Structure formats: C-alpha cells, structure tokens
Structure 1
Amino acid sequence: MSVEYLIISESGRALAASAKNAGYEVSVIDRYADRDTVALSRSIHRYEGLHLADFLNDIESYSYLQKLIKYSVKSGSNITAIIGSGFEKRPEQIEIIRKYMPIISNSVKTINLAKDPMKLGKLLAKKSINYPFSTINKNDFCSEKEFLIKELGAMGGGHVSVNSNSLLRKTLFDKKYYYQEYIKGTVCSVVFLANQKTAQLIGINELIKPTQFLTKPFLYEGAVTVNLQDKKFSDEIYRIITEVTKLSKLSGLCGIDFIINKSGIIYIIDINPRPPATFELYEDEGHLFQNHLDCFQGRLPEYIPHNLNKLKGHAIYYAKKDIIAHSLPSFPDWVSDIPAPKKSKNNLEMKYEILAGNPVCTIYAEGVSTTEVKNLLNQRLNEIELSIKSINKL
C-alpha cells in the first residue's frame, strides 16, 4: 500500500519541495497556501485561526482532513502527517491528530523539554553546555543586569524584547513569559539529523541581523550558510548536537540556535524539535525529507557535506503596511513563497491581503563568501521593497 503525506506547518512550502524532490506526493495545511506550495502539493488548505495546533477545532479544516482520509481510503493509500512548526505552544494537540492518522513528529515529552528553558538549562549544565540563565521570576536578576523577556513556546523571534519598565508591568505576572540572561554576540544556528541516540551535522548558519522593524530587534529575518574551517569549533558543535539529541530524545531534522560571545564561548538559546527554516539551504545536496523519515525508523543517514565553494542565504521580506491589492508585481526567479490571492469576505472577488508585520515572500542568494551573500540579499530586499511600495501607492 502506498503512503501519502500531509504536511502540517506554519509554512509548508520547504517541506513540500523536499518531499517532491524525494519522489513523494503531499498535501499541506499551513497559514499561507502560497503559489509555490500550491504548485508543489496535490491539495492544500489555508488555516487562518489563531493557533495552527488548534486547526481541528475549525470546521473547514476538519472537513478538509476528513476529505483527505476518505480519498486515501478510496485510492488504497495510507496518509501520514508530518508535523512542522506551529505546535511548540500546544504539543499535546499532536496526539489528537494521531487519532486520525499516523504521525511523524517528536514526542510531546521531547517538545515540552526543548521548550522548557528552566529544566533545559539544568540538564545542559550537567553536560557542560552553556545556556543563558532563565527564570520566571524577574527578581532573580540584579537591577543593573540586562535580560530578555521571551514568550514560552513562541517562534520567529518577534516575541523577544529587552527588559523595559513598560513591558515588565505587562508581563511580570503573566505565566506565558520568562526572563533570560541577555548574551550578546553572533547569532547562529545548526541544522542536523537525529535518531534519539546520535546526530549528524548538516550545516551551520549565521543569522541575519534584524533591521526591518525597530520594535522587533530579534525577529528572524533570514540566514546565510557558513563554512566549517575551525575543527575545534566544529567538534564542539558535534558534541552539542549529540548530547542534546540524547538528553531530549530528538528524532528527524532539527535545529539549534546559539550565540558565540566575544570570548568565543557558545551559548545554546533555543532548540527546534522539528525541521527548521534553514534546512532548505542544504536541500540541493540530498533529499532531507527522506532523511527525516529515515530518522524516525532509527536510521541516521550518512550526509555528504555541502559545496564549500558556494554559500547560500535566504531572507524574509515582511510587509511594513497592510497590503490589499487585486494584483502583485511580477517576482524574480530568486523569490519563493509568493502570495496567492484569497476570496474577500463577500466571496465576490479575489484579493491579495497581507497584514503589516506578516511575511510577503522569501528571497535567495548565493556567493563565495558570507559578505557577498548578505550584500546580494540586501540588494534584493530593497528591490522587493520598491515593488511593494509601488502597489501601496495605487
């Protein structure tokens, strides 16, 4: 019996592209249903609720899921859900999906541990892995020490703020938030494969410094791949991903964000127990979707290092103002996640509607150095910005 996959993620495009490269047919539930994802999938459903993890509570989403199940029975295939981003705040919802179909995902226990900063910090300390001091009690910090305020289980960095009196009044008694020591330095991430026992490094990236919103200084705006030339550094990254894998029983494609401070010390700041956004920068060298599946069978694939002579990067362009238009400009071939129109509230016409602060598209660049890739990404971001501004003037 053949197997089909249902990708459930905030954005399903990268996973759908990787699945297609590996020869699989997929359906997708995500928040965007952009043109690229539509072209890559057999069917797609756009979920517009508050939390993706709650999509089964939505009548249209539930109906879509039932149609997929009926189709799979009729066609003699099995459908399996691939869990991407969007479940970090409510991982228990994954078990509800499991009532309808098999699931490829890290366990609820693993996700909860990865997203529990206090418990995680204590476990990492036992393995001599640095993690910023984190607490739910602001008074644990001395008054002159700078710290960050983060939302538990949130993603994308837009929720992170530096301590300020106005914000403290709002969050001091809110259990959704915690406080974390502010470590300054170069922000990086690592993509790796895991099988609960050991890990295989895929690549390391340097995150792009956020500049699009003054009010969101930690927003994820993109990343650039980097070469591993320092063996001592790469050995330490290998040690970290292996120890984290064993501690939290990670499986599949995963990611870790970390900071290298001015003294060269590595601090883990976040663990993503699901395919991270940056995995697509390494897709050309193999079928990472297939590798992801294999890991859940206990098989850790051998990975051929990516082309060290070619660095890649992607950057997300966010809407600065609400975009409501009947048409968008033509996008170059170095752009993906191109928006698709949706029905207006009266169902009489199709419009493009992108609210301020939401992603518009993803931009790509390649080069022989990190600086070259960053400069090209900035140039292309400016080009897209000018195109979008021309729409808002219409």
Structure 2
Amino acid sequence: MRILFIGSRLFNDVADYASSRGVTTILSESNPEAPNLELADSCFIVPRGMDAPLEIALREDVDAVVPLIGVDGPLRDVARLKTELEESYGIPVVASGEGAAEISTDKLKTKEFFMKNGIKTPAYAIIETSHEVKGFPTVLKQREGQGGSNIKVASSYTDVEEYLGSHESAIMEEYIQGVEISVEVLRWDGQTFPLVAVDKGPTSTEGIHPLGKVKRAPAVIEGFSGDEALKMASRITELLGAEGNTDVDMILSEEGILYAIEVNTRPSGTRYISEAATGINPMHSLVDMAMGDWNPNKFKRENYNAVEIPLGNPGNIESLMPEGVKWLLHGPQNHMRLTARAENREKLDLIMKRLRVI
C-alpha cells in the first residue's frame, strides 16, 4: 500500500502507525525547513498548491492520498484535488469534497447552512456601520479566518468602529454566555463516528485563543448530556457530506441551549484530548480510511477523564504526575501543551493544582 501524505507538520502523528501497517509513506511539503520530513519513506519538496501533489500521486502510483492540513486556506484546493483524483483516476482522497469545503471555510455560508437545515445557531447579520448594532456585547467576524483571527467581542460602539476601520463589513453574531464545546467527527464511506464532547472553557469577552485554554473531556456540565453534542455534530457532518476528520464547535448557553458556531473540515486541535478520553486516535483513522480498513463498528471506546493544559515551555514535570496518569507533551517549543488522562477527575485536578492552573 502506497499513500501520499500532503503536509509534514502533522505527519509525526501518523508516520509510525502507517509504517506499522506496512504502508509505504510518500510525503509532499512546500517548506524545506518543515518538521518531520525525515519520517517518510520518500519526500518531495514542491511549490505551494495542489498541482504538484496531483503529479506525485500519479507518478508514484499511490493507492490513496491523505492531506494533513490543519489550516483552512488550502482546503478548497484539496477538495478540487479530491474530485479529480477520485473521479478521473479512482484514487481515494481522505478529505472533504468541494461542497463541504466551500461551506466550512466561509463563516457566512456556514451560518446560512445552519439556518437552512434548522440547526440552532446564534442570530447574525451583516453590518457596515456601528449604527446597525442593537446591543452589547456582540461578536464581530470576517467570512474567513480561524483560531480566533479577525474575531472581536465588541463591548461598545467604539469597539465596533475600530473593527470596521480595518474591515469594510462584518458578520455580527449574538454573543452567547456559556461553555464552548467541541466534537470531532470521523466519517468515511457513509459511516459516522463522533468521538467525545470536549469542554473548551467558558466563553469570554476577552476572545482568548483556543490554544490558551484548559480543555476537559468528556464535558461534565450540570444538566448537560454530552450525547446531545455528539448527535448535533454527527448531524451537521452528515448534512455537510464531510469526510475524514471534521471538528464541530458549539456553545452551551447558561440556559442549557446548545448552539452550533462553526464547522472545520480538517484535523482538529482537540485530537490529543479526544484520543486521551476515548482511546481512539483520529489521525490513525485517516490512515485506516485510506487503506479501506476503517470500521467504526469495531471501535472499543474507552472512557477516561482527560485534560489539556497550555504550559508554554514546562521543563521537567514528570514529578508532578500522580500514579496511574498517562500524559503527553506536544506542540512547538514555548507553546507546549500537556494532555493527561486518568480514571477519575480528582487526579487531573491534582495535576492542575500542582501546576497552579486551579
């Protein structure tokens, strides 16, 4: 089995697993200084875009393609690559198609998709002046962007005017006070499997970046069943026709109402905590999908408590780990995160106390 992986930044998450399954790994990457290049059986440094990966896929006679792209920008090009390789050459590409990518990478189209399908989402409007704002706080967004970029929680008309000073218009969205919830959904060949509801912390008018928050899984919130989030995420993914790994972001309001916020058709930043809580590695599933060997009916979901903590550059923290806790440090230097799992939440609370997080 020969698989082309596009993008090296996340390749370390799949390299060993693919090799253990007898896969010949071929990697394409546009940055010669990118990490993980040495982990592949063969690597090609190519110009940006999908023309070169298309050429490599055909020249190297690959059996499947797995894009490992964690940003929104190239997803529409990936979707077009998927169309050409699958329809013209019969080579499966483990990624979402053009329709799903078009909606997920455009926040306005995402909101329209939610409304069209009767999915609860915060009220919104397009504004060009501050006079169109009816109340505060309110959320201002652009049609494109991720990880909190170009998003502002405005608390005054001055905030709105400053934002519109840099943007001709904005999507104005109702601010919901509550808890941010995220669910990764694996979907391939008509089968759907949601992983776990991840608690990403309370909503904030400060607009804290998701990587700067403590996350917990499964989400344990009074009056809330994680099953509700799993069902909503699965329904959204299926209606969208997304494939591979999809991340659905929601907010659970203080009144207990679940709102859909965004959907991202790419590997998720919650993949480590999702695996820690369930024992199911979403990145390994992408390899299984490419091999035609992905069957969610065979999954044995484990039920652990997991936490992910941003630490920066933590140094040696092994002595802080209680007995029976499994843990992993990941992320770039000075922006590292600790993901840990245990059979009970008390051990994880102890870690956070020792790290002075709580």
* Length-normalised TM-score, structure 2: 0.71
Structure 1 match to 2:296: 301
Aligned CA distance change for structure 1 residues 91 and 175 (closer, same or farther; 3 Å): farther
In 1, are the aligned partners of 2:13 and 2:283 still within 8 Å (CA)? no
Aligned CA distance change for structure 1 residues 291 and 162 (closer, same or farther; 3 Å): same
Letter in 2 for 1:110: A
> Quick check: 1:255 aligned with 2:247?
yes
Structure 2 match to 1:105: 95
> Quick check: 1:364 aligned with 2:357?
no
Q: Which residue, out of 271, 275, 281, partners 1:279? A: 271
Cα shift at 1:331:
8.1
Structure 2 match to 1:147: 138
CA distance in structure 1 between the partners assigned to 2:99 and 2:114 by the alignment: 17
In 2, are the aligned partners of 1:191 and 1:254 still within 8 Å (CA)? yes
> Quick check: 1:8 aligned with 2:7?
yes
Q: Following superposition of structure 1 onto structure 2, how do residues 313-332 of structure 1 map, counting pairs within 5 Å?
A: 313-318=307-312
CA distance in structure 2 between the partners assigned to 1:40 and 1:97 by the alignment: 24
Cα shift at 1:121:
3.0
Letter in 2 for 1:311: N
2:103 partner SS: helix
Structure 2: where are the runs of 5+ without partners?
A: 319-326
Cα shift at 1:123:
3.5
Aligned CA distance change for structure 1 residues 329 and 266 (closer, same or farther; 3 Å): closer
In 2, are the aligned partners of 1:313 and 1:365 still within 8 Å (CA)? yes
Cα shift at 1:110:
0.6
Letter in 2 for 1:334: L
Structure 1 match to 2:285: 291
CA distance in structure 2 between the partners assigned to 1:25 and 1:202 by the alignment: 28
Aligned CA distance change for structure 1 residues 81 and 195 (closer, same or farther; 3 Å): closer
2:161 partner SS: helix
CA distance in structure 2 between the partners assigned to 1:22 and 1:288 by the alignment: 16
Deviations 1:347-372 (A, max 9, x none): xxxxxxxxxxxx63232222344564
Cα shift at 1:239:
3.1
Cα shift at 1:156:
1.9
Q: Which residue, out of 178, 187, 194, partners 1:201? A: 194
Q: Which residue, out of 177, 180, 197, partners 1:187? A: 180
Cα shift at 1:198:
5.4
Over the matched positions of the two proteins, sequence identity in percent amounts to: 14
CA distance in structure 2 between the partners assigned to 1:18 and 1:175 by the alignment: 47
CA distance in structure 2 between the partners assigned to 1:19 and 1:175 by the alignment: 46
Letter in 1 for 2:167: D
Aligned CA distance change for structure 1 residues 177 and 125 (closer, same or farther; 3 Å): closer
* Length-normalised TM-score, structure 1: 0.66
Cα shift at 1:169:
3.1
Q: Which residue, out of 89, 92, 110, partners 2:73? A: 89
Aligned CA distance change for structure 1 residues 172 and 196 (closer, same or farther; 3 Å): farther
1:109 partner SS: helix
In 2, are the aligned partners of 1:6 and 1:81 still within 8 Å (CA)? yes
2:335 partner SS: strand
2:176 partner SS: coil
Letter in 2 for 1:250: A
Aligned CA distance change for structure 1 residues 317 and 157 (closer, same or farther; 3 Å): farther
Aligned CA distance change for structure 1 residues 11 and 295 (closer, same or farther; 3 Å): closer
> Quick check: 1:129 aligned with 2:95?
no
Structure 1 match to 2:321: none
Deviations 1:137-185 (A, max 9, x none): 1569543232112243322225432115256334367368532211111
CA distance in structure 1 between the partners assigned to 2:103 and 2:186 by the alignment: 18
Deviations 1:294-337 (A, max 9, x none): 657696522545332x3223334458xxxxxxxx9678683233
Structure 2 match to 1:389: none
> Quick check: 1:312 aligned with 2:303?
no
Letter in 2 for 1:270: E
